[in-house]
Amino acid sequence: MLPIFELSLRQLSGKWRVAIIILAAAIPIATTAAARATVGTNDGENLDAMARVILDGMLLAAVLPIVTMTLATASFGNEVEDRTLGYLTLNPVSRWAIVLGKMLAPAVIAAPLLVVSGVAVVMVGLDGGVQTAAAVGVGILAGVAAYSAIFAWLGLVSSHAIGFALMYVFLWEGTLSSLLSGIRYLSVRAYILTLMEGVGGWRLDSLQDLTIELPAAIGGVILVCAAFYWLAVRRLRRMDVP
């Protein structure tokens, strides 16, 4: 698995891609700093609104899934498109190991940048302490893992992975999970928010309509990672490698 992981890290860490990802991760921090300059330290209502808009609306609903999507869809997608997947499959390496390497690499690149972004938003903008920052970090790590699994699988099954991924992010995670309460149980965004609250022991009133029970969120993340990992392995075993 290690050679495939190293190869994928190298493939996904082109300077332009990394520059764009750093820029995307910096947007919530810059927005928080700008908002913070205009909001008083004791203005609880405005802090709550900032959490809703920047932490959830910007970072969790847009930046996190899009950054992870950019990396994870390319993880297998580029191999299929460039017809280099055979260099990996024509070896005595189990399909489980190939998929693991391909799913871990985008997560390892995206996670540090997004965690830094989330922690900075909480520390700078929401007066959060160490525990809150750690909770945001845990939530983001879980989100990156789940999205990496989903989007890496998508890159393997479709040549239009980015289009489908954007539809999923904006329609399912961004819109429907806010409007229909049942969908929250099938929403990575809801899992992340619930983990942040559960681990951090903090509570933001404006985000209550997006959270679920903590065990359901933990189970949801594990289930999503495992299910899409299994689906990707199954696909790799059955597909005709170009």
Partner 1 sequence: MASISLRSVSKWYGNVVAVNDVSLDVEPGITGLLGPNGAGKTTALHMMAGLAAPSEGEIEALGQPVRDNPEVYRRLGMMSEHEAVYPFYSGRKFVELAARLHGLPDVGAAVDRAIRYVGLSDAQDRALGTYSRGMRQRMRLAAAMVHDPEALLLDEPLNGTDPRQRIEFHDMMRRIASEGRTILISSHILEEVETVADRHLLMVSGKLAASGDFRAIREKLDEQPYKVRILCDDPRAMAAALMRLDTVESVSMDDGAALVLSRNVAALQRAVPVTARDLGLRLTRVEPLDESLESVFSYVVEG
Q: Give the footprint of partner 1 on this chain (CB under 8 A).
A: 2-4, 7, 10-11, 82-84, 86-95, 237-238, 240-242
Please, which residue, 12 or 24, has the CB nearer to partner 1?
A: 12
- Provide the minimum distance between the beta carbon of 19 and partner 1 in the complex, in angstroms, as a whole number: 16
Rounded to 10 degrees, the C-alpha dihedral 4/7/9/12 comes to -120
- Provide the minimum distance between the beta carbon of 10 and partner 1 in the complex, in angstroms, as a whole number: 6
Please, which residue, 30 or 239, has the CB nearer to partner 1?
A: 239
- Provide the minimum distance between the beta carbon of 17 and partner 1 in the complex, in angstroms, as a whole number: 13
Please, which residue, 12 or 140, has the CB nearer to partner 1?
A: 12
What are the structure tokens assigned to 71, written together?
Answer: 């990396």
- Provide the minimum distance between the beta carbon of 113 and partner 1 in the complex, in angstroms, as a whole number: 21
Which amino acid is present at 171? L
Please, which residue, 31 or 78, has the CB nearer to partner 1?
A: 78
**Residue-wise over 174-188: b if at least 16 C-beta within 10 A, else e?**
beebbeeeebbebbb
- Provide the minimum distance between the beta carbon of 48 and partner 1 in the complex, in angstroms, as a whole number: 46
Contact criterion met (CB below 8 Å) for 207 and 51: yes
Contact criterion met (CB below 8 Å) for 72 and 148: yes
Please, which residue, 216 or 241, has the CB nearer to partner 1?
A: 241
DSSP codes joined into one string, 102-121: HHHHHHHHHHHHHHHHHHHI
